[in-house]
Structure 1
Amino acid sequence: MLLRCLLLTAFAMCPALTQAQEIGSFERPVVPTQTIELLNGKDLNGFYTWLTDGGHEDPRQVFTVQPDGTLRISGDGFGGLITRQSYSKYHLVMEYRWGTVTWAPRKEKARDGGLLLHAYGPDGGFGGTKDKPGPWMTSIEFQIIEGGVGDILVLQGLDEKGNRLEAACTAEVQKDRDGENCWKAGGDKQRFTKGRINWFGRDPDWKDTVGFRGKDDPDSPGQEWTRLDCYATGDSLTYLVNGTLVNRVTEVTPNRGKILLQTEGAEMFVRKFELRPLPEKLP
């Protein structure tokens, strides 16, 4: 009788599931209490791969650990290196540099990559269809592209049945010369369920050409190392590039999830990729 009552109660509660529950609140995320080295310098045991032309196989070795312990992303293909764990409330530190190799169809385009945060749903759920998976997952992106490092992209993908999954955030923005949204502290508040929030100093004359560099870009030029910091509080995301605060959003949905490093046509090396406990005070 007790079991029957419990089952009836559970069924009665099912229709009342909130959106937060639907996007994975039952999966308990890891909240760092000390530094978590996502890259161990030896192997990729804490990750799995997804490629549009290989699924969970990586026959071309797009993602490899080099003898010096750095991660090489060849750029040959579209997809990602994805953490097996979900995470929340962390300070992410990543140090990367571009390689010299670019691949079609972006061989002559700006070197492009990205860091997808709070990723959830099926692998390949963003950028494709129900019958043909795409390269990425529903998430909020920390963009890594020549001229646009620190942009935020909202990537709403699909679940296994083809239904739209939720991803959204609120930003204070102003319009640039061309009417694009750029982050500005104290600007107009706007809710984003798709699209891009440019970092505050993105060059309005940006061109999608290899080697592009804007006059105020804070990332390092050429093949020099760049440091990224992301403070993910659950409610907010704050992005820094080489110590410069470039973007911030609040009311972030989802507020937890996996972390995905993109391959998007450009060779990239990563020497540091770690999660730290949040500091008492954010930048």
Structure 2
Amino acid sequence: MGLAVAALSAPAAAQAPATPEQLAQTRAIVGNTVARPQTLVLVDVPRATGKARALLNGRDLAGWHPWLGYPDPSVTYRNQPGATSIGTTRDTAGDFAIRRIDGRPALWVKGETWGALVHDADLRDYHLRLHYRWGAKRWAPRLGQPPNNGLLYHTHGAPGAVFGTWQPSVEFEIMQGSTGMAVAVGRDVRLRTTAALDPSLVSPPVRYRVGGAPVEIVNGTLIWNVENARDAERPAGQWNTLDLYVLGDRAVHVVNGVPVMVVEGLATVDAAGKRTPLTHGSVQLQSEGAETWFRDITVEPIDRLPKVVAKE
């Protein structure tokens, strides 16, 4: 790969400001154009081609399967020899549960032990909508950092294949300030978008931009994620609405009605370098250090994607 951060895990790189070398390497990929604010509008929104389906029944976690990573989350990105995932070996009622909040049932994710809830449906060509809000609790090793979670889609492969904690997938990031960011979860995952340089960001200093330079997102390289076009999250304690539109190997991320990311070319790459389009899979909801609530998770079939238009 030949990049300065190739040997670093994605989160390890994310904690460090972009170095002059990383900025120079990023400029070699996206050019010197600095990301200016864009007003992005979602138009030509598709109508559902079939009946909507609720993924949460409001009573229990039927259809969802938990997986937990390491007892000590701080070893997650260290590839520590001998570390063993909890997996499914303990009861997870204290990690994931249906509880009431704001007068309604919702999915509660404690966040202390990292892992995920994985839904058993194999989804393709759909619009997924959910509502989330942050709880009050934060856990080591993420104390003092922005609360972090994620909606992972086109999930495939073995439980715990990624850092002993998640399955390979594409991530619609849920993180304060970065909700809608696109992340490649797993070394076999590839996705493309367009971006411009944003030196204000920690590494990688790239932000989604309509009409920007084409980039490929690959875990373990300099461009392991691309930041959202803008922060559209509501203040802590309020409910947020996420819309994920997926059609084949393309997707659009929308936060509170604001489109913030468009990705395409979703694929897996095998050991021989063969690229296979990634067009379907299950969804995961992460547990990654922050108490989080989810409700009203629905999917409906679509046959086209909405368009994202930039107004400067």
TM above 0.5, yes or no, is yes
Alpha-carbon distance between aligned partners in 2 of 1:267 and 1:73, rounded to the nearest angstrom: 6
Does the CA-based 8 Å contact 2:96-2:107 persist in structure 1? yes
68-77 or 240-249: which moved more?
A: 68-77
The change in CA–CA distance for 1:170 and 1:95 in structure 2 (over 3 A counts) is same
Task: Please list the CA deviations of residues 101-156 of structure 1 after superposition, one character each: whole Å capped at 9, or x if unmatched.
Answer: 111111222111001110111101112xxxxxx11111100000111001000112
The change in CA–CA distance for 1:32 and 1:126 in structure 2 (over 3 A counts) is farther
Check if 1:177 corresponds to 2:191: no
Check if 1:269 corresponds to 2:293: yes
Q: 1:200 aligns with which of 225, 229, 241?
A: 229
Task: Please list the CA deviations of residues 159-183 of structure 1 after superposition, one character each: whole Å capped at 9, or x if unmatched.
Answer: xxxxxxx311111111112561211
Alpha-carbon distance between aligned partners in 2 of 1:42 and 1:76, rounded to the nearest angstrom: 23
Question: Residue 55 of structure 1 corresponds to which residue in structure 2?
Answer: 87
Does the CA-based 8 Å contact 1:33-1:277 persist in structure 2? yes
Task: Please list the CA deviations of residues 232-258 of structure 1 after superposition, one character each: whole Å capped at 9, or x if unmatched.
Answer: 111211001000010011111222111
Question: How many residues are aligned here?
Answer: 224
Does the CA-based 8 Å contact 2:244-2:251 persist in structure 1? yes
Q: 2:211 aligns with which of 148, 170, 186?
A: 186
Larger radius of gyration: 1
Alpha-carbon distance between aligned partners in 1 of 2:112 and 2:298, rounded to the nearest angstrom: 24
Does the CA-based 8 Å contact 2:247-2:305 persist in structure 1? no
Aligned residue type for 1:245:
P
Check if 1:149 corresponds to 2:179: yes
Structure 1 unaligned regions, length at least 5: 1-30, 128-133, 158-165, 202-216
Map 1:24-39; keep pairs closer than 5 Å. 33-39=50-56
What's the TM-score once normalised by structure 2's chain length? 0.68
Aligned residue type for 1:58:
D
Does the CA-based 8 Å contact 2:169-2:186 persist in structure 1? yes
Shift of the alpha carbon at 1:86? 1.4
Check if 1:231 corresponds to 2:245: yes
Alpha-carbon distance between aligned partners in 1 of 2:305 and 2:154, rounded to the nearest angstrom: 22
Alpha-carbon distance between aligned partners in 2 of 1:98 and 1:191, rounded to the nearest angstrom: 31
Question: Residue 23 of structure 1 corresponds to which residue in structure 2?
Answer: none
Does the CA-based 8 Å contact 1:32-1:89 persist in structure 2? no
Does the CA-based 8 Å contact 1:51-1:58 persist in structure 2? no
Aligned residue type for 1:187:
G
Alpha-carbon distance between aligned partners in 2 of 1:97 and 1:39, rounded to the nearest angstrom: 16
Structure 2 unaligned regions, length at least 5: 1-47, 72-85, 268-277, 308-312
Q: 1:119 aligns with which of 147, 152, 155?
A: 155
Question: Residue 60 of structure 2 corresponds to which residue in structure 1?
Answer: 43
Alpha-carbon distance between aligned partners in 1 of 2:136 and 2:54, rounded to the nearest angstrom: 27
Shift of the alpha carbon at 1:261? 0.1
Does the CA-based 8 Å contact 1:118-1:255 persist in structure 2? yes
Q: 1:137 aligns with which of 167, 178, 192?
A: 167
Alpha-carbon distance between aligned partners in 2 of 1:243 and 1:141, rounded to the nearest angstrom: 18
Alpha-carbon distance between aligned partners in 2 of 1:124 and 1:234, rounded to the nearest angstrom: 25
Task: Please list the CA deviations of residues 31-79 of structure 1 after superposition, one character each: whole Å capped at 9, or x if unmatched.
Answer: 9831110011011111100001431243452110014321111112100
Alpha-carbon distance between aligned partners in 1 of 2:283 and 2:205, rounded to the nearest angstrom: 27
Give the ranges of 4+ consecutive aligned residues of structure 1 lying more than 4 Å apart after TM superposition. none
